[in-house]
Amino acid sequence: MATAIALACVVTAGCQAQGFIASPSDYADHRATRVAPTFEARLAAAQRYLEEHPDGRYRDEVRAFFDPAEEAFYGAKKDSEAGLRAYLAALPKGPHREQAGRRIGELETAARSARAELQRSSAEVEARVSGRAATQRARVRGEIQTWVRRFVDPAAYAAPLSAARADLIVPFALSLPSPRCALLDVPEGAVARRCAKLLDLPYSVEGERGAEPREATIEITLDQDARGVPLGVVIGGPDLFLRLEETHRVKPVAPGDAAQRAAAITRAVELVKATFVARVSDEPACRRRPSPPAVLDLACGGVRVTVSAAGATGEDDRVVIRPLP
pLDDT in tens, 46-68: 999 999 999 999 999 999 999 99
In a domain, 6, yes or no: no
Checking if the pLDDT of 144 tops 60, the result is yes
The whole-number pLDDT of residue 19 equals 39
The whole-number pLDDT of residue 312 equals 77
183 with 315, same domain?
yes
228 with 272, same domain?
yes
* 321: nearest Cα among 310, 311, 309, 306: 306
How many Cβ atoms sit within 10 Å of the Cβ of residue 30? Answer: 24
Checking if the pLDDT of 254 tops 50, the result is yes
Number of domains in the chain: 2
The rounded distance, in Å, linking the Cα atoms of 321 and 278 is 15
The whole-number pLDDT of residue 117 equals 72
95 with 171, same domain?
no
106 with 123, same domain?
yes
The whole-number pLDDT of residue 130 equals 64
The whole-number pLDDT of residue 33 equals 86
Checking if the pLDDT of 84 tops 80, the result is yes
257 with 287, same domain?
yes
Checking if the pLDDT of 6 tops 80, the result is no
Checking if the pLDDT of 259 tops 60, the result is yes
88 with 153, same domain?
no
Query: Of the candidates 85, 109, 130, which is a domain's last residue?
Result: 130
Handedness of CA 288, 231, 189, 241 (dihedral sign): negative
The mean pLDDT of the chain is 88
Strand duo 210-224 + 294-300: pairing: unpaired
What HEC string does the chain produce?
Answer: CHHHHHHHHHHCCCCCHHHHHCCHHHHHHHHHHHHCCCHHHHHHHHHHHHHHCCCCCCHHHHHHHHHHHHHHHHHHHCCCHHHHHHHHHHCCCCCCHHHHHHHHHHHHHHHHHHHHHHHHHHHHHHHHHHCHHHHHHHHHHHHHHHHHHHHCCHHHHCCCHHHCCHHHHHHHHHCCCCCEEEEEEEEECCEEEEEEEEEEEEEEEEECCEEEEEEEEEEEEEEECCCCCEEEEEEEECCHHHHHHHHHHCCCCCCCCHHHHHHHHHHHHHHHHHHHHHHCCCCHHHECCCCCCEEEEEEECCEEEEEECCCCCCCCEEEEEEECC
Checking if the pLDDT of 272 tops 80, the result is yes
The rounded distance, in Å, linking the Cα atoms of 156 and 172 is 12
Which tops the pLDDT comparison, 23 or 42?
42
When pLDDT is cut at 50, 70 and 90, the band that residue 7 belongs to is very low
The whole-number pLDDT of residue 165 equals 92
* 178: nearest Cα among 169, 186, 187: 169
Checking if the pLDDT of 18 tops 70, the result is no
170 with 312, same domain?
yes
Q: Which residues contact 23 (CB under 8 A, 6 or more apart)?
A: none
Query: Of the candidates 105, 130, 155, which is a domain's last residue?
Result: 130
The whole-number pLDDT of residue 12 equals 35
Task: Tell me the mean pLDDT in the region 14-22.
Answer: 46
171 with 84, same domain?
no
In a domain, 5, yes or no: no
Domain that holds residue 222: 133-323
Query: Of the candidates 82, 109, 130, which is a domain's last residue?
Result: 130
Checking if the pLDDT of 269 tops 90, the result is yes
In a domain, 4, yes or no: no
The whole-number pLDDT of residue 148 equals 98
In a domain, 11, yes or no: no
Which tops the pLDDT comparison, 253 or 228?
228
The rounded distance, in Å, linking the Cα atoms of 7 and 203 is 89
In a domain, 254, yes or no: yes
189 with 164, same domain?
yes
Phi, psi of 14 (to 5 degrees): 95, -15
In a domain, 3, yes or no: no
The rounded distance, in Å, linking the Cα atoms of 43 and 41 is 5
296 with 191, same domain?
yes
Checking if the pLDDT of 10 tops 50, the result is no
The whole-number pLDDT of residue 1 equals 33
140 with 281, same domain?
yes
222 with 98, same domain?
no
The whole-number pLDDT of residue 129 equals 58
Is residue 262 within 8 A of residue 295, CB to CB? The reply is no
Task: Tell me the mean pLDDT in the region 270-295.
Answer: 95
pLDDT in tens, 159-197: 999 999 999 999 999 999 999 999 999 999 999 999 999
In a domain, 126, yes or no: yes
Tell me the percentage of the chain whose pLDDT exceeds 70.
89
* Global pTM value: 0.62
pLDDT in tens, 114-141: 877 777 666 665 555 567 888 999 999 9
pLDDT in tens, 204-223: 998 888 889 999 999 999 99
In a domain, 258, yes or no: yes
Least confident of 12-26, 170-184, 298-312: 12-26
